[in-house]
Amino acid sequence: MAIGLGTGWLLSKRLLAPLHTISEAAAKAADDDLTERVRARGPEDELKRLADTFDTMLTRLQRSFTAHQRFAANASHELLTPLATTRAALQVAADAPTGEELAELVPLLQETNERNISVVRALLDLAAADHAPFDPDPVDLSDLAERAAAARAGRAAARGVRLTVDTEPDCQVMGSGALLRQLDLNLLDNALTHNVPEAGLVHLAVVQDGARAVVEVDNTGPRVDDAVVDRLFEPFYRARPRVGSDRSGHGLGLAIVRSIATSHRGTVTATANPTGGLTLRVRIPKSPSHGARCEAVEGQAVRAPRGG
């Protein structure tokens, strides 16, 4: 009996050890320490699976909190810089309120104010894409893409970037036309902003891939490190340092794209092109009532040749 009790105690202690470790990790997580992991060893039983699931949850929480901290820091920087510029301009105007100097300061104040407005509007768009409910309607992605390209044709011409469109007709999804139009515009704005002036290319395509419609934007531009591709969807993230950036854009465009795609049960991916630039693909489930009307196309979108 003594041997049996001793053996049972040792076995129960060994089997329940992950629960003690999980309890300690949970206590540390409650104290804002998300670095602790269980790292259970042993057979693939229920306790080890529970410990592995707990480790996965802590890893995701740590990644999420780190992203939120970066978001808060970047948002503060993005809003503080134009506000500090406005304060300095107002101080100069107060010290020497002459008509000539006021005339020089007015354009600067207008520019900084417009930038603040654009950032706040982008934040509102991001919040709307994340939380605003909408009643889905049949939306033709091809029609939206063509209209978005027409809306950005003038900007592309001004930058000397050739914009081409390749769409399949009558390819519908269930969603919000306003949000999906914003998705197309943001994809094009990102492709035009981060491109090669006077010699760049942007190709917009809408194709079918089985049960999903794919919106693809391919652009030339600077080379993008594969290590930072996934971070491009973080709010206010820029591939180039903020100090050396020309401050074109505010770093929220692709974050809004991801939120809109997620709200439509879709996904968005980015791939760095070997010769420079990005290929962004948004996949959204097709409308069930129109899925049979669009033939599936194997492979990737047909691209316009880069040579001219």
For the segment 248-260, the average pLDDT, to the nearest whole number, is 79
- Whether the predicted pLDDT of 243 surpasses 50: no
**Is the per-residue pLDDT at 49 higher than 90?**
no
pLDDT for res 283? 94
* Closest C-alpha among 170, 185, 198, 176 to residue 291: 170
Higher-pLDDT residue of 107, 267: 267
Mean pLDDT of all residues in 71-84: 69
Q: Give the strand order in the sheet containing 278-285.
A: 162-167, 201-209, 212-219, 278-285, 267-272
Mean pLDDT for 205-224 is 91
Residue 301 pLDDT: 39
Mean pLDDT of the residues in the chain: 78
Q: What is the pLDDT of residue 244?
A: 41
Is the whole-model pTM more than 0.85?
Answer: no
pLDDT > 90 fraction of the chain, expressed in percent and rounded:
25
Question: Which residues are paired to 207 by β-bridges?
Answer: 214
CA geometry: angle at 28 spanning 22 and 34, to 5°? Answer: 90
Q: What is the mean pLDDT of residues 248-257?
A: 76
- Above pLDDT 70, what percent of the chain? 75
Single-letter code of the amino acid located at 133: P
